[in-house]
Structure 1
Amino acid sequence: MHPHHLLVASLSLLATAAVAQPQYAWVGTYNPNGEGLYRFTVDPQTGALGEKKLVSPLPNAAQLTVSHDGKTLYLASEAEKGVIQALRIGADGELTELNQVASGGAGPVYVSLTPEGRHLLVANYASGSIAVLPVKADGSLGEARDTHQDQGEPGAAKPEAAVEGSFAASDHNGPHAHMIASDPSGKFVFSTDLGLDRIYQYRFDGQSGKLTPNDPPFISASSKGAGPRHFVFTPKGDGLWLINEESSTLTWYALDKTSGTLKAGKTISSLPKEYKGTSFAAGLALSADGQQLYVANRLHNSIAHFRVTADGTLVHQDDVWTRGDYPRSLTLDQQGRWLYVMNQRSDNITRFRVAPDGTLSFEPDYTPVGSPSQMVISTGP
């Protein structure tokens, strides 16, 4: 064989080896339509999901995250006595349970790892509490190192910033922690409380796993009854975008990297300006380069696409029909080529190709799964 052909052959073998590394999509669901946690393979070329398998029967196994090295999966049962499972991911995608611990409250609705991966942060919706669980060397979890109970007057029952005709009001009857995450530096932690219309601010000690309320300990939502839900940090960690569930608004918060405190900036609607009636904003996803922001609107059943300009301003690009009902969360794949939508009420996952400029185009291959809540993608060893 000609040396040039040998080189081409060896390069193609390398390319095949790189592509051959299996990717798995893990999908958490709600009972009864969903029966637990499902595993899918991800086609490296097309992004299509295949080989569906139920891999954990944990009830209402709706919230999950994967360790930074892709070896451990953390799965929350959104039950009255919340539990978190730590599961080892084998080379073939098989799961082995490491252990199971209490979530530090009731109804865990969000789990995230700190940047160094040594602590798991949990938001417990039903009890309105947050918890910090230590991650041991083998990936298993310890009992909560710290817990904090949200307390205060419930927020306004009706969202003042919602569009005309909206009846999007829910759970302003007490504390309901909805999300918790560390900033990219690992020094600060923020949690939202939908019921109290607050964003809590903490300083975080990565050694002890303790949270100390910052000054001020919380800030109010951008409008009364807004229902702060999920947020995403910029890649630089100088701020975050937060979606308000009841008002269907998106608020920018600048983050002071010294004090770890947030300052509210501009708020815009996540819905088209013509829209009237009820909708509940849900998940959001930011591209790795921080230039494209996508928001899920439940009832309007759309993905709002915003482009982030150089000065951080959001410019509305499009409203894309999800092809399903009640999109609860959005997942971008690791290369940012595909966007997956968890359509909770239509019991399916839809997939969109992401163009270099962030534009979405629907790929017509629905993936059936009962009441999908959240999806994370891991790469095999």
Structure 2
Amino acid sequence: MHTRTLLAASLSLLATAAVAQTQYAWVGTYNPNGEGLYRFTVDPQTGALGNKTLVSKLPNAAQLTVSHDGSTLYLASEVEKGVVQALRVDKNGELHLLNQVASGGAGPVYLSLTPNGRYLLVANYVSGSIAVLPVQSDGSLGEATDVQQDKGEPGAAKPEAAVEGSFAISDHNGPHAHMIAADPGGKFVYSTDLGLDRIYQYRLDDRTGKLTPNDPPFISASSKGAGPRHFVFTPKGDGLWLINEEASTLTWYALDAANGTLKAGKTISALPQGYKGTSFAAGLVLSQDGEQLYVANRLHNSIAHFTVKADGTLIHKDDVWTRGDYPRSLTLDKNGQWLYVMNQRSDNITRFRVTSGGMLRFEPDYTPVGSPSQMVISITP
């Protein structure tokens, strides 16, 4: 009897601890439909978003990321003179501005933290530059330790690998940095430039926050005019999948762990077989176990679902209608149970349950929010 009492008490404590952890979803948006940054609570059982609250009116607060412990949110204003804010997250979800610094360029379009959290990496789309911002002990940001400016001839105006009938032509008129991230080991940094059709390769000095161009400093996109956009690393860090915006293709790149250079492998379409016409590929996410890959296709308005085989090849499993228009990005929750879609033009977020084999099942509850761009989830104890 005594043992049963102890067991019941232990289970009660575990349940209380689980309830005590509050999940917040932070959603960045574009003006004018979106008014800034929104906070939602996440139901731990159903994944539903609730208690919508506008917490920042920073103009075009469209890009964000959160510290590994969930205590600090980093928010970029995607404007000509780009700025990045560091915001402390209280237990009740209230935000407190720590400081604001220049993004190192114009139109910051992507933020990511290095694996150890010591640096925030910024890609500035309009200026075609990238920057390294040091993270201070209190979570605030220092001035850039390094800024690199992309230079070169623009890529081809028309994507040669796009499907028949495609007019997916965008910004091949100069440098446009679109994403930046460090490899899982934190030794190397990669950035894409949509306008120049390049993937840049750097070595990162973790002591100084300086970037050194690798050898070679960049590689060309998998096809002319492809428009390299976003990428995800494998859990092992031995390679990455990259989505090409204009071509709507996925390219595999093997990563040499010793020197940090990428080598292009197979390229496949992110669109269903037989599709003709225009579509712009957008965000992509990989499950934590590295077995399920999801890609957002704008205009086709679908989520392409791929399973990853043991040898790293992809099997195109399904194409799921997003139930919205122009899916800009995808977010998986911490446990990989729910996938959220930011439907920019239909001004809503849709939610899918991740079922057996990574298949997606639509949950019929739309979350209204103007021009959603990106969502991150934090857990507050």
How many positions carry a matched residue from both structures? 381
User: What corresponds to 2:242 in structure 1?
Assistant: 242
User: What corresponds to 2:311 in structure 1?
Assistant: 311
User: What corresponds to 2:166 in structure 1?
Assistant: 166
Give, as a single letter, the amino acid of the residue that structure 1 aligns with 2:98: L
Structure 1, unaligned runs of 5 or more: none
Displacement, 1:18? 1.6
Say if 2:208 is the partner of 1:220. no
User: What corresponds to 1:264 in structure 2?
Assistant: 264
Say if 2:117 is the partner of 1:122. no
Displacement, 1:16? 3.1
User: What corresponds to 2:62 in structure 1?
Assistant: 62
Give distance in 1, aligned partners of 2:234 and 2:3: 47
Give, as a single letter, the amino acid of the residue that structure 2 aligns with 1:378: S
| SS of equivalent residue, structure 1 residue 207 | coil
User: What corresponds to 2:135 in structure 1?
Assistant: 135
Displacement, 1:15? 1.9
Give distance in 2, aligned partners of 1:341 and 1:116: 28
List per-residue Cα deviations over 1:147-201 (Å, max 9, x = no partner). Answer: 0000000000000000000000000000000000000000000000000000000
Give distance in 1, aligned partners of 2:318 and 2:3: 51
| SS of equivalent residue, structure 2 residue 202 | strand
**Map 1:266-281 → 2, pairs under 5 A:** 266-281=266-281
Give distance in 2, aligned partners of 1:136 and 1:241: 31
Give distance in 1, aligned partners of 2:30 and 2:185: 33
Say if 2:368 is the partner of 1:368. yes
User: What corresponds to 1:53 in structure 2?
Assistant: 53
List per-residue Cα deviations over 1:220-251 (Å, max 9, x = no partner). Answer: 00000000000000000000000000000000
Give distance in 2, aligned partners of 1:370 and 1:76: 17
Give distance in 2, aligned partners of 1:3 and 1:137: 45
Structure 2, unaligned runs of 5 or more: none
TM-score (norm: length of structure 1): 0.99
List per-residue Cα deviations over 1:260-312 (Å, max 9, x = no partner). Answer: 00000000000001100000000000000000000000000000000000000
Give distance in 2, aligned partners of 1:61 and 1:239: 31
Give distance in 1, aligned partners of 2:84 and 2:145: 14
Q: Higher mean Cα deviation, 3-12 or 242-251?
A: 3-12
**Map 1:83-122 → 2, pairs under 5 A:** 83-122=83-122
User: What corresponds to 2:295 in structure 1?
Assistant: 295
Give distance in 2, aligned partners of 1:6 and 1:182: 46
Give distance in 2, aligned partners of 1:79 and 1:232: 26
Displacement, 1:3? 4.8
| SS of equivalent residue, structure 2 residue 367 | strand
Give, as a single letter, the amino acid of the residue that structure 1 aligns with 2:356: P
User: What corresponds to 1:37 in structure 2?
Assistant: 37
Give distance in 2, aligned partners of 1:97 and 1:196: 36
User: What corresponds to 2:341 in structure 1?
Assistant: 341
Give, as a single letter, the amino acid of the residue that structure 2 aligns with 1:263: K
The percent identity for this pair of structures is 85
Give distance in 1, aligned partners of 2:13 and 2:262: 50
Give distance in 1, aligned partners of 2:217 and 2:259: 12
Change (3 A) 1:300 1:125: same
Give, as a single letter, the amino acid of the residue that structure 1 aligns with 2:288: A
User: What corresponds to 1:177 in structure 2?
Assistant: 177
User: What corresponds to 1:193 in structure 2?
Assistant: 193
Q: Higher mean Cα deviation, 16-25 or 114-123?
A: 16-25
TM-score (norm: length of structure 2): 0.99
| Cα RMSD (Å) | 0.9
Give distance in 1, aligned partners of 2:7 and 2:110: 49
Displacement, 1:255? 0.2
Give distance in 1, aligned partners of 2:25 and 2:34: 15
Give distance in 1, aligned partners of 2:273 and 2:195: 26
Displacement, 1:19? 3.2
Give, as a single letter, the amino acid of the residue that structure 2 aligns with 1:327: P
**Map 1:321-336 → 2, pairs under 5 A:** 321-336=321-336
